[in-house]
C-alpha cells in the first residue's frame, strides 16, 4: 500500500546523465543514466534468477540481501532467491556460466525503475559486478530505503585488475585474505596475486619438499587445504588467484630447508631484515631444475589459474659472481652476463610451466626479447610497461600502484596504463591488459594491512575498470569515502583498527584526544620508513605503534586541505570559515588534553613533538585564516616566521608526519 | 645500564597482600602477594624454557611476547624463546607435558622481582595460565613498562570452566571461534562446548550421511578439516573441545535430509523460527540406532575429547504422542511416560558412546537415577545442580550463566556453584566440578557474538577459577573493564563492532551523537527480545539494528550509576558532582544533535523515543542532582512527576532500554 503510493509519486521517469556530480558508484560504470524514479525496498524483497540456476549467483544474491539488511535493518529474507518468482522485486537474467579466466565477458546491464530491477549479463560473473553496483546505489530519503532509478551499461576497460598481497614478508592469515577478496569484489577487481615466497618466509605447504614450509616460515604458512579454501572462496566472487613463487632471487627462505638450491655455500636462515638480499638459486645445476620441476608439478596442480608467476626481480647477482663454478658455466655456455644467465634460467622454468599447461608471468626483469610472446610481464619499473608492449609481450602495470608507499589515492588515480597522450600502435596498446595494486608487506601486519589496502585501492580499481575520461579527483574521493564504510561490512578492519590500537597503547577507553591528533597524521611516504635512520626495522619489529595507527591519505586532513582551497575561492563563506576555525582551534586545544596522556604512556613519547607542532601551526593557521578573511596584510617577518615554523613541522617524528600542513601553508601563503 | 639503575631504585623488596584494591588479574589468583619491586621490560626481553622443549609452550611464549610488543611498542623479538639462554629475562620451568583433559594439573607459580621472572608449573598447561597472568600484570610509570613484582601461587577452584557457543541457531565461522578460544585462554577457561546441531542448523560435515550438512545448514557448516583445525588451535591454548549433538529433540535440521529418523511423517525443512519445537527422533526404531551408531563412530573419531554431549533437553513429546506406533511401543516395553521412553533412548546412546570410548554429557533431562554414575550432567534448570549431585552424578552448572540473556556481569558473578551456605555432604560437593557460560544464538550473529560473550564472561571465568571468597563486585568490574581492552588484541571485536554498525546504519563517519545515546542503552534482558510482541524474529532477521549495536552491562551507564551511589555518600565532592552534571547535560543536549540524523535514517526511527526520553530524564536528573547537592526540598508533586517520568522511560523501544535510569532514579529518590 505504502509502496504503491510512493511508486505513484516518483512515477515520472526522467532520465538524465549526471556524471561526477551524483554518481554514487566506484568504479564508475561505463555508461550510467540515472532517472528520477526510485525502487522502494521493502521487507518482501525477492530475487528471481532466470536462465541458469547457478549456485555462484544464488550465493552472491543471498550475500547481497544480507548486506542490504545490515545497512537498512529491514526484515528481508536473504533466502528469497529462486528461479520461480513471477512477481519478484529483481530479476537476474544470464546466458551462461562465466569462466573465471582472463578475457571472460564481465559486462552487465542494470535497469532500475519504480517497479522492478532487472540485471542482465552474458555471464554470471558480469551479474556479480551488477549486484555490487546495485548495493552502491542504495539511498534513503529518511522515510524509505530505495535504489536510485537508472540504466547502467557497464563493462571493464581492462581485463586484468589485480591486487598483490605479499604474505612472504609478513604472513596474512586466511580470514584476512578472505576479507580482502570480498573487498576486491566490491570494487570489481578480479585477480588476487599472492606473493607466496620471499627471503623472509615460505608461506605455502609443500608436500614434496616439506622443509620448505617447515623451516622457511616460522610456522606461519597456508596449508594446501587452506589454499583450496581461498581459491574456492575467490572463485565464487569472480576472482582469480595467481600465485607467485619468486625466483631465482628473493629465495632465502627456500634455502633454510634446501641449501643445495643456493648459489652460495650457506648455511641459510630465514631472513629477518629487508632489502635486496644476496641468496640466489643456482641456475647451473641440473638438480635445481629437477627440484623445481617436482615443485611446480605440485603447485600447478594445486592452483587452477592458467597463469603462474615466477617473480624474477631484483637478482643482484652477487652470489653468482662469488661462485667460480657459476662463472665457469657462464663462459662454457657463452652467457655474456648475469642477465643472460637469468634468461637461460627463465627459459628452463618456462619449459617446466608449459609442460604443466601454465602461462608464465614475471616482473620486468624476465622480459627478454627472445622469449616466446605468450609470457606476461608485470611492470614494476618505470618505462617497463611500454618496453614490454613494444617487444610484443602482454603486460600489466604496477609501477605507480605501490600502495605500500602510503601515498594519497589521487597519485595512483592519476596513473593511466594507456593515457590519451600515448603514441603506440594499436596492436601494442592491446598488449597492455591491466594492472595490479601491490601491497608489499615490509611494514604491515595482519592488524594493519586492511588500512593500507583500503579504501585507496578503490581508486586504482576505478582506473582499471572505468573509461579513461573518468578522472575527476574530487568525485573519486567522494565515492571512495562512501564505499569505505560499505567495505567494513565485509569484515575489513581499515576503519576500526586504529581506535583498537590507540586503546591498546593507552590501556584506556577514552582515546578522544589521541584520536584527534592521529586523525591528522599520516605515516611517512615512499621508502622513508623502511629505510629510516631512526629505527632499524625487521620482520619482528612491533607494528602497533602510533605510525601504524595512522592512515595514509587521512580523510580528515584531506577534507581540511580541500576546504582551505574552497575557502580561498569563497572567502566570504562563513560556514567554511567556521569549520576551518573550529578545526584549527580543536588542534590548538588538543595539545593540553593530550599532554598528560603522553606523559604516562612511554609508547606515545615519540609523538609528543608532533602534538606540539600541530598546536603551534594550528595557532598560526588561525591567525592566517583571520588575516585572509579580513583581507588584512601581515608583516613579511610574520610570514617568514610562519613558513619557517611550517617547514620545521614537516619533519617527521616516529615515522609520522602532519597531514594538514598543506592546508595551513596555503592559508599562510595567501596572507599578504 | 638504565635497567640496572632502575633495578637499584626499586630493589627494596616489600611483599604485601593487596587484594581487591590493587589486584590487576582476572580471574584473581588463588594466592597473590605483590611486592614493591618492578621488572623493567626492555627490547632484549627473552624467555628460557627449561625442563621440556615443547612447541605448545614455545608458541605460547612467542604469542605472549607478540602481545607485549603490541601494547608497548617495544622492539622485542618474539622469537627470543629458547632452551639455552642463561641470562634470560624469564625462565619457564615445567615438569611434563600436560594432558588436555579433565582434572589435569593446571597450577603454576609466578615470581617476579626486579631481576627476573620465574614461571614454574607441573605441566605446560599450568604455564600457559601463568603467561596470561603475566600479561595482565603489565604496568607503566610513564617512563618504562614493567611487571609488578609479586609471588603468585595459583590453581583453579573448578576443573571444568566452559563456554558454550551455539553455532546451530546462527552459524559462527572458524575465525570467530578461534578469537573466542584466545579470549577463553586469556581468562583461563578450558572447555569450549560447541553446540553443533539444532532445529535451525546442522553445522558439521558428516561423511557417512552427507545430507545432514548439505540439506541441514543453508551451506553454513564446519568441514571436518576446519573442525580439526579448531581442535588443534584450542589444544595448544589448553582448551578442550566438547561437541554437542542435541537429541532426540532440537533435531529438525537432521530430518531435512533424513526424515526417516523422525517420529512424525514430515516432510521437514530447516526451522527458521525459534522456540521448543515438535520434531523429535523416533526412539522406537532400530534403524535410528543403526544410524546413530554410524554417526557417532565418525564423530567420536573426529573429536579427541573424552566427553561427548548428547543434549537431551526440551523434548516436548508432542511428536511421540501423535505417533500410534510409538504409543504402542511404550505400552509393549512398559514405559510409563515420555520421560521413561527418553531414558531408554539415552541408555542406547550411552551404549554407543561407551563402545567408542566416550563419556556422555547431557542436560538435566537425561539425569535418570538408574543411569550409570559416570555420565556428566550439565544443569540449565533451577535446582538441577544439587539434584544431580544428590543422585551421585558429576555435574556442571549453567543455570545462572546464560549470557545470552543480556544481564549484567554481577548477576552471573553472584552465582556460585558451591556457596558457603550449601549443606551437602563432601562427597556430593566433589561431584560439582564446574560450570559453563552459555552463548545461545537466537539473537546473535558472527557480527555481534563477541560483544555478547565479552567482557562479561570474564566474571564467570573468575567465579569458576578463583577462590570462593573473591567476590568484591567493584573490584571485579575494574578488572573486567581492564581486560576487555586486552581481549581486543586477540581479534575479538566486542569493543569495535558497535561503531562499525552505527557507521553502517547511518552511512556516515561522524557517529558521535548516536554513540552518545547508544553508550547508555542496553538490549532488553532475559527473554524479552526473543519473545517480543513488536518483532517476530527468525534466523534471517536483521541483527544489525540499534539494539544489536548496544551492549549488555554498558560500561558508561554502569559507571554513571555507580558514581551516583558514590555521590549520595559524598555530596560535597565537587569532582563527582561535576562529572555527573556533565554527563547529564551531554545527554540533554544530545537530543537536538541526534534529531536530524534520526530524521534522515529510517533504521534509527525506532530509537527516536529513547533519545527523547533520555533528554527528559537527564533534565530531571540535573534538577535532582542540584536539589541533593544543595540539600533543598522539592515539592511532592515534582517528585511524583519525576518518578512517573522515569517509570515511563523504563519501557523499552526497539528492544532497547535506557541503562542510566537506575542512577537518575536514585538521585530523584534522594530529593526530599
Q: How far is CA A206 from CA A299, B180, B198, B419, B426, in A?
A: 8, 30, 39, 55, 56
The per-residue DSSP string of B603-615 comes to GGGGGHHHHHHHH
Q: Among A489, A500, A544, whose Cβ lies nearest the Cβ of B69?
A: A544
Cross-chain Cβ contact A218/B499 below 8 Å: no
Cross-chain Cβ contact B71/A504 below 8 Å: yes
**Active-site amino acid positions of B:** 314
Instruction: Kindly state whether A595 is in contact with chain B, defined as any CB-CB distance less than 8 angstroms.
Output: no
Instruction: Give pLDDT, residue B14.
Output: 33
Cross-chain Cβ contact B495/A488 below 8 Å: no
User: Residue A209 and residue A297: Cα distance in Å, rounded?
Assistant: 12
Instruction: Give pLDDT, residue A86.
Output: 85
Instruction: List chain B residues with CB under 8 Å of A73.
Output: 505, 542, 544-546, 602-603
Instruction: Kindly state whether B74 is in contact with chain A, defined as any CB-CB distance less than 8 angstroms.
Output: yes
Cross-chain Cβ contact A71/B175 below 8 Å: no
Report the chain B residue with the minimal C-alpha distance to residue A142: B600
Instruction: Give pLDDT, residue B84.
Output: 76
Cross-chain Cβ contact A499/B504 below 8 Å: no
As for the ipTM of the complex, it is 0.94
Residue with cell 546495485: A134
Instruction: Kindly state whether B472 is in contact with chain A, defined as any CB-CB distance less than 8 angstroms.
Output: no
* Nine cell digits for residue B474: 567493584
- Residue B667 neighbours by CB under 8 Å, 6+ apart: B564, B568, B621, B624, B625, B628
For range B356-374, the mean pLDDT: 93
DSSP H helices, A356-408, are 384-390
Instruction: Give pLDDT, residue A23.
Output: 83
B 173-202 residues inside an 8 A Cβ radius of A: 173-175
- Of A557, A573, A584, nearest to A662 by C-alpha is A557
Instruction: Give pLDDT, residue B21.
Output: 37
> Confidence band (pLDDT; 50, 70, 90) for B665?
very high
Cross-chain Cβ contact B544/A69 below 8 Å: yes
Cross-chain Cβ contact A503/B485 below 8 Å: yes
DSSP character for A98?
Answer: P
- Of B153, B122, B148, B150, nearest to B137 by C-alpha is B148
Instruction: List chain A residues with CB under 8 Å of B140.
Output: 600-602
* pLDDT over threshold 90, residue B396: yes
Instruction: Kindly state whether A504 is in contact with chain B, defined as any CB-CB distance less than 8 angstroms.
Output: yes
Q: Where in B136-190 does DSSP place strands (E)?
A: 138-140, 145-154, 160-166
> For the stretch B358-368, what's the b/e string if a residue is b when 16 or more beta carbons lie within 10 angstroms of its beta carbon?
bbbbbbbbbbb
User: Residue B14 and residue A90: Cα distance in Å, rounded?
Assistant: 74
Contact between A220 and A269 under an 8 Å Cβ cutoff? The reply is: no
Closest CA–CA distance from residue B658 to any residue of chain A (Å): 20
Instruction: Kindly state whether A72 is in contact with chain B, defined as any CB-CB distance less than 8 angstroms.
Output: yes
Mean per-residue pLDDT pooled into runs of 10, chain A (672 residues): 34 33 86 93 95 84 97 96 89 95 98 97 97 97 95 98 98 97 98 98 98 97 96 98 98 98 96 95 98 98 98 95 97 96 96 98 92 94 94 97 98 96 94 98 98 98 97 96 98 98 96 98 97 94 98 98 97 97 98 97 97 98 97 94 97 97 97 87
Cross-chain Cβ contact B505/A73 below 8 Å: yes
Cβ neighbours, 10 Å, residue A590: 21
B437: which strand partners? B163
Q: Among A71, A496, A599, whose Cβ lies nearest the Cβ of B142?
A: A599
User: Residue A131 and residue A124: Cα distance in Å, rounded?
Assistant: 10
- Of B242, B148, B239, nearest to B187 by C-alpha is B239
Cross-chain Cβ contact B509/A485 below 8 Å: yes
- Residue B350 neighbours by CB under 8 Å, 6+ apart: B360, B371, B372, B375
Instruction: List chain A residues with CB under 8 Å of B496.
Output: 493, 496-497, 499-500
Cross-chain Cβ contact A499/B499 below 8 Å: yes
A145: which strand partners? A140
Q: Among B69, B503, B508, whose Cβ lies nearest the Cβ of A488?
A: B503
Closest CA–CA distance from residue A627 to any residue of chain B (Å): 30
Contact between A229 and A201 under an 8 Å Cβ cutoff? The reply is: no
Contact between A428 and A376 under an 8 Å Cβ cutoff? The reply is: no
What is the length of chain B?
A: 672
| pLDDT tens profile B461-476 | 999 999 999 999 999 9
Instruction: Give pLDDT, residue A3.
Output: 38
Instruction: Give pLDDT, residue B6.
Output: 33
Which of A6, A58, A70, A221 to mutate to probe the B interface, most B CBs <10 Å? A70
User: Residue A75 and residue A348: Cα distance in Å, rounded?
Assistant: 59
Closest CA–CA distance from residue B219 to any residue of chain A (Å): 9
Element (H, E) at B63: helix B55-72
Tell me whether residue B12 is exposed, middle or buried, using C-beta atoms within 10 angstroms of its C-beta: 0 to 12, 13 to 18, 19 or more.
exposed
Cross-chain Cβ contact A540/B500 below 8 Å: no
User: Residue A93 and residue A111: Cα distance in Å, rounded?
Assistant: 12
Contact between A280 and A317 under an 8 Å Cβ cutoff? The reply is: yes
A439: which strand partners? A165
Residue with cell 575527476: A472
Instruction: Give pLDDT, residue A21.
Output: 37
Closest CA–CA distance from residue A442 to any residue of chain B (Å): 15
- Of B416, B422, B435, B427, nearest to B376 by C-alpha is B435
Q: Output phi, psi for A421, to 5 deg.
A: -75, -5
Cα angle A362-A363-A366, degrees, rounded to a multiple of 5: 70
Q: Residue A340 in 3-state DSSP?
A: helix
- Of A157, A147, A144, A150, nearest to A190 by C-alpha is A157
DSSP character for A16?
Answer: B
User: Residue A607 and residue B295: Cα distance in Å, rounded?
Assistant: 60
Instruction: Kindly state whether B603 is in contact with chain A, defined as any CB-CB distance less than 8 angstroms.
Output: yes
Cross-chain Cβ contact B481/A541 below 8 Å: no
User: Residue A345 and residue A359: Cα distance in Å, rounded?
Assistant: 16
User: Residue A355 and residue A296: Cα distance in Å, rounded?
Assistant: 10
Instruction: Kindly state whether B579 is in contact with chain A, defined as any CB-CB distance less than 8 angstroms.
Output: no
Closest CA–CA distance from residue A464 to any residue of chain B (Å): 26
Cross-chain Cβ contact B603/A507 below 8 Å: no
Give the relative orientation of helices B174-186 and B473-488 as an angle to the nearest 10 degrees. 140
| pLDDT tens profile A609-628 | 999 999 999 999 999 999 99
* Nine cell digits for residue B56: 605448545
For range B452-458, the mean pLDDT: 98
Instruction: Kindly state whether A71 is in contact with chain B, defined as any CB-CB distance less than 8 angstroms.
Output: yes
The per-residue DSSP string of B212-235 comes to HHHHHSTT--B-HHHHHHHHHHHH
- Residue A594 neighbours by CB under 8 Å, 6+ apart: A513, A514, A516, A517, A611
Which of B70, B145, B446, B516 to mutate to probe the A interface, most A CBs <10 Å? B70
Cross-chain Cβ contact B75/A495 below 8 Å: no
Instruction: Kindly state whether B78 is in contact with chain A, defined as any CB-CB distance less than 8 angstroms.
Output: yes
* Nine cell digits for residue A473: 579527483
- Residue A482 neighbours by CB under 8 Å, 6+ apart: A24, A26, A136, B507
B436: which strand partners? B162
Q: Residue B410 in 3-state DSSP?
A: helix
User: Residue A566 and residue B461: Cα distance in Å, rounded?
Assistant: 56
User: Residue B606 and residue B586: Cα distance in Å, rounded?
Assistant: 21
**Pairing between strand A160-166 and A191-195?**
parallel
- Residue B10 neighbours by CB under 8 Å, 6+ apart: B36, B37, B38, B114, B149
* pLDDT over threshold 60, residue B13: no
* Nine cell digits for residue A423: 603514441
User: Residue A216 and residue A473: Cα distance in Å, rounded?
Assistant: 44
Contact between A68 and A74 under an 8 Å Cβ cutoff? The reply is: yes
Closest CA–CA distance from residue A198 to any residue of chain B (Å): 19
User: Residue B307 and residue B292: Cα distance in Å, rounded?
Assistant: 17
B 356-415 residues inside an 8 A Cβ radius of A: none
Q: Residue B139 in 3-state DSSP?
A: strand
Positive or negative: CA dihedral B449, B450, B455, B459: positive
Closest CA–CA distance from residue B272 to any residue of chain A (Å): 10
Cross-chain Cβ contact A603/B509 below 8 Å: no
Cross-chain Cβ contact A504/B225 below 8 Å: no
The per-residue DSSP string of B424-477 comes to --HHHHTTEEEEEEEE--SS--TTTHHHHHTTTHHHHHHHHHS-TT---HHHHH
**What average pLDDT is seen over chain B?**
94
User: Residue A469 and residue A459: Cα distance in Å, rounded?
Assistant: 14
Cα angle B222-B228-B231, degrees, rounded to a multiple of 5: 105
Closest CA–CA distance from residue B482 to any residue of chain A (Å): 7
* pLDDT over threshold 50, residue B443: yes
Which of B69, B73, B220, B256 to mutate to probe the A interface, most A CBs <10 Å? B73
Closest CA–CA distance from residue A477 to any residue of chain B (Å): 14
| pLDDT tens profile B60-118 | 999 999 999 999 999 999 999 988 788 999 999 999 999 999 999 999 999 999 999 99
Element (H, E) at B378: strand B376-379
- Annotated catalytic residue within A220, A314, A489, A669: A314
Amino acid at each position: 500500500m505504502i509502496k504503491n503510493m510512493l511508486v505513484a509519486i516518483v512515477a515520472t521517469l526522467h532520465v538524465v546523465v549526471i556524471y561526477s556530480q551524483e554518481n554514487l558508484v566506484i568504479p564508475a560504470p561505463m555508461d550510467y543514466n540515472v532517472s528520477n524514479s526510485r525502487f522502494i525496498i521493502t521487507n518482501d524483497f525477492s530475487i528471481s534468477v532466470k536462465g541458469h540456476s547457478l549456485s555462484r549467483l544464488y550465493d552472491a544474491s543471498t550475500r547481497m540481501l544480507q548486506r542490504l539488511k545490515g545497512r537498512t535493518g529491514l526484515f528481508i529474507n536473504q533466502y528469497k532467491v529462486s528461479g520461480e518468482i513471477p512477481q519478484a522485486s529483481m530479476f537476474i537474467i544470464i546466458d551462461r556460466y562465466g569462466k573465471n579466466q582472463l578475457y571472460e565477458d564481465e559486462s552487465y546491464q542494470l535497469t532500475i525503475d519504480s517497479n522492478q530491477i532487472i540485471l542482465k549479463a552474458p555471464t554470471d560473473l558480469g551479474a556479480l559486478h551488477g549486484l555490487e553496483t546495485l548495493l552502491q546505489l542504495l539511498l534513503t530519503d529518511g522515510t524509505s530505503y530505495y535504489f536510485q532509478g537508472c540504466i547502467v551499461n557497464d563493462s571493464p576497460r581492462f581485463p586484468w585488475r589485480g591486487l598483490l598481497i605479499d604474505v612472504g614478508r609478513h604472513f596474512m592469515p586466511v580470514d584476512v585474505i578472505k576479507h580482502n577478496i570480498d573487498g576486491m569484489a566490491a570494487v570489481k577487481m578480479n585477480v588476487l596475486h599472492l606473493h607466496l615466497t620471499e627471503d623472509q618466509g615460505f608461506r605455502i605447504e609443500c608436500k614434496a619438499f616439506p622443509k620448505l614450509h617447515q623451516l622457511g616460515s616460522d610456522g606461519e604458512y597456508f596449508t594446501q587445504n587452506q589454499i583450496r579454501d581461498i581459491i574456492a572462496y575467490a572463485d565464487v566472487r569472480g576472482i582469480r588467484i595467481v600465485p607467485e613463487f619468486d625466483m631465482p632471487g628473493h629465495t632465502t627462505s627456500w634455502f633454510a630447508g634446501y641449501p643445495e638450491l643456493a648459489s652460495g655455500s650457506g648455511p641459510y636462515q630465514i631472513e629477518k631484515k629487508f632489502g635486496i638480499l644476496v641468496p640466489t638459486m643456482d641456475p647451473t645445476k641440473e638438480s635445481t631444475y629437477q627440484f623445481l620441476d617436482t615443485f611446480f608439478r605440485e603447485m600447478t596442480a594445486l592452483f587452477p589459474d592458467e597463469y603462474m608467476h615466477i617473480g624474477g626481480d631484483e637478482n643482484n647477482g652477487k652470489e653468482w659472481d662469488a661462485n667460480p663454478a657459476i662463472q665457469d658455466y657462464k663462459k662454457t655456455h657463452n652467457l655474456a652476463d648475469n642477465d643472460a644467465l637469468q634468461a637461460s634460467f627463465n627459459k628452463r622454468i618456462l619449459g617446466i610451466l608449459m609442460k604443466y599447461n601454465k602461462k608464465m608471468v614475471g616482473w620486468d626483469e624476465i622480459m627478454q626479447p627472445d622469449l616466446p610472446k605468450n609470457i606476461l610481464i608485470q611492470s614494476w619499473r618505470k618505462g617497463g610497461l611500454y618496453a614490454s608492449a613494444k617487444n610484443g609481450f602482454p603486460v600489466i602495470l604496477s609501477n605507480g600502484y605501490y600502495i605500500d608507499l602510503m601515498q594519497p589515492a589521487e597519485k595512483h588515480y592519476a596513473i593511466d596504463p594507456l593515457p590519451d597522450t600515448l603514441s603506440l600502435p594499436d596492436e601494442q596498446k592491446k598488449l597492455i591488459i591491466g594492472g595490479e595494486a601491490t601491497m608489499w608487506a615490509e611494514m604491515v601486519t595482519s592488524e594493519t594491512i586492511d588500512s593500507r589496502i583500503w579504501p585507496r585501492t578503490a581508486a586504482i580499481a576505478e582506473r582499471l575498470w572505468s573509461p579513461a575520461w573518468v578522472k575527476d579527483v574530487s568525485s573519486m574521493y567522494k565515492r571512495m569515502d562512501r564505499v569505505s564504510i560499505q567495505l567494513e561490512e565485509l569484515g575489513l578492519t581499515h576503519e576500526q583498527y586504529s581506535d583498537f590500537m590507540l586503546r591498546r597503547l593507552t590501556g584506556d577507553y577514552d582515546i578522544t584526544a589521541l584520536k584527534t591528533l592521529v586523525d591528522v597524521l599520516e605515516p611517512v611516504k615512499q621508502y622513508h620508513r623502511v629505510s629510516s635512520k631512526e629505527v632499524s626495522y625487521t620482520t619482528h619489529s612491533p607494528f602497533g605503534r602510533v605510525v601504524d595507527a595512522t592512515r595514509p591519505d587521512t580523510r580528515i586532513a584531506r577534507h581540511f586541505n580541500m576546504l582551505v582551497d574552497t575557502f580561498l575561492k569563497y572567502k566570504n563563506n562563513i560556514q567554511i570559515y567556521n569549520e576551518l576555525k573550529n578545526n584549527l582551534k580543536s588542534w590548538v586545544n588538543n595539545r593540553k588534553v593530550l599532554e598528560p596522556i603522553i606523559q604516562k604512556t612511554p609508547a606515545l613519547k615519540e609523538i609528543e613533538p608532533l602534538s606540539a607542532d600541530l598546536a603551534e601551526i594550528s595557532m598560526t593557521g588561525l591567525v592566517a585564516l583571520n588575516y585572509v578573511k579580513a583581507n588584512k596584510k601581515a608583516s613579511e617577518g610574520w610570514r617568514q616566521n610562519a613558513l619557517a615554523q611550517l617547514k620545521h613541522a614537516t619533519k617527521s617524528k616516529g615515522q609520522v608526519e602532519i597531514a594538514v600542513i598543506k592546508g595551513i601553508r596555503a592559508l599562510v601563503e595567501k596572507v599578504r
